[in-house]
Amino acid sequence: MPLIVLFPLVQYFFLMIFCCYWILIAGYMASTATLTQLDNGGYDYTMDEDMTHALIYHFFGLLWNMAFMRHFTIMVVAGAVGTWYWTPFIDGGKEGLPAMPVYRSCWRTFRYHIGTLAFGSFIIAVIEFMQAVVEYIKQKYMDDVFWLRCLASYIQCCLECFKRIMEFISRQAYIVTACKGKCFCMAAWDAFNFIMDNLGQVVAVNWISMYLMFMGKCFIVCGTTVICWLIADNSDDINSIIILLVVCAVIAYGVASMFLSVFETAIDTILVCFCWESSAKGSFQGGHVYCTTHLQTWIEGIDVDKATSSAAQTAKVAPGETSAAADPGTAGAPKGDAA
């Protein structure tokens, strides 16, 4: 699925359109305020109470929609990678992988999982809105009281920790939803159980992937900046290249984060799917083995030679249609629970 790395471009395209729309509407709302000159020469900017409430609602819509678009990309990528994982591994390959897995995953997400995405992104939007409210109160009413500012900062820190925890839980829940078709709460509970049963592997993989993502971003940003410097240094039309290099580094970081997020989601998806299969210990219906050769040695209770032989496979799985739930067996999903 080489084109899957380009899918975040769709997300950022719609994000840009929505942000332009949001800024335009916010500008119209702000223009309804009354500007009056004070006796001391300053100006007072007052807005109608109803319009103030509408602007707050509009701001919450920004947070919710941005979270929704981010989470939509995560679920689509997770669904495509899950389709690959849950294609039976037969004779050293996954020849049963259906065509256009990214398109199929996008359609399943639109058709079945919009409510799950809306609920998960709503939770994140509420937390971010609370952070914005605390910051507004701190800046407007706590400028002169040091201990109140410290208290507000402490609350913001707690909210940020809670937000990161919910982002992690939501990410795992979307992976389970994309592969098993469950709702948000049930998917989060399944993901939590998979992770707790394989906590050591999860911690190790997360730290290693975090390190690899960091090194990848550093390499891309540094390499792009060096190439920009080599090109700009040979130009006689540029007097100072500092600003150019800074802008180039910022753009390179954004591009690196966008594309490496696909690999990060793929790592998390394969990890969750492997935890599910490892917990089943080869008890899937028909004895299918889905993970690749390198991962099979970590699963207890399976006959690898028999399970991965085409002669032993009595039924083909159609992962593009039912993905992980095609042969759920005793892994925890009810049979027929479409991905």
pLDDT attached to residue 335: 35
For residue 326, the model assigns a pLDDT of 38
* Of 66, 68, 67, 54, residue with least CA distance to 26: 54
What is the mean predicted confidence (pLDDT) over 241-246?
86
pLDDT (tens digit, 9 = 90+) per residue, 133-151?
988 888 877 777 778 888 8
The band of 319, judged by pLDDT with boundaries at 50, 70 and 90, is very low
**pLDDT tens-digit profile of 250-297?**
999 988 988 888 888 898 888 888 887 777 765 665 566 777 777 777
Output 127-132 pairs: Cβ under 8 A, ≥24 positions apart. 127/159, 127/162, 127/163, 127/166, 128/63, 128/67, 128/163, 129/59, 129/60, 129/63, 130/159, 131/156, 131/159, 131/160, 131/163, 132/59, 132/63
Q: Which carries the bigger pLDDT value, residue 64 or residue 234? A: 64
Task: Average the pLDDT over 237-245 and give the result.
Answer: 81
Query: pLDDT averaged over the chain?
Result: 80
User: Tokens in use for 212?
Assistant: 């690899």
**pLDDT band at 323; cut points 50, 70, 90:** very low
Paired with 18 in beta bridges are none
With cut-offs at 50, 70 and 90, classify the pLDDT of residue 312: very low
- Residue 43 pairs in a beta bridge with 37
Q: What is the per-residue pLDDT for 308?
A: 53
Q: At which residue do the structure tokens 């960091």 appear?
A: 214
What the block records as the tokens of 258 is 């966008």
Give the pLDDT confidence of 65-105 residue by residue, as tens digits: 999 999 999 999 999 998 888 887 777 677 777 888 888 88
What is the Cα–Cα distance from 73 to 257, expressed in whole angstroms? 14
Whole-angstrom Cα distance, residue 268 to residue 205? 9
Secondary structure, 3-state, the chain:
CHHHHHHHHHHHHHHHHHHHHHHHHHHHHHCCCEEEECCCCCEEEECCHHHHHHHHHHHHHHHHHHHHHHHHHHHHHHHHHHHHHCCCCECCECCCCCCCHHHHHHHHHHHHCHHHHHHHHHHHHHHHHHHHHHHHHHHHHCCCCHHHHHHHHHHHHHHHHHHHHHHHHHHHHHHHHHHHCCCHHHHHHHHHHHHHHCHHHHHHHHHHHHHHHHHHHHHHHHHHHHHHHHHHHCCCCCCCCHHHHHHHHHHHHHHHHHHHHHHHHHHHHHHHHHHHHHHHCCCCHHHCCCCCHHHHCCCCCCCHHHHCCHHHCCCCCCHHHHHHHHCCCCCCCCCCCCC
- Greater pLDDT, 46 or 252: 252
Q: 176 burial class (0-12, 13-18, 19+ CB within 10 angstroms)?
A: buried
- Residue labelled with tokens 């900017």: 45
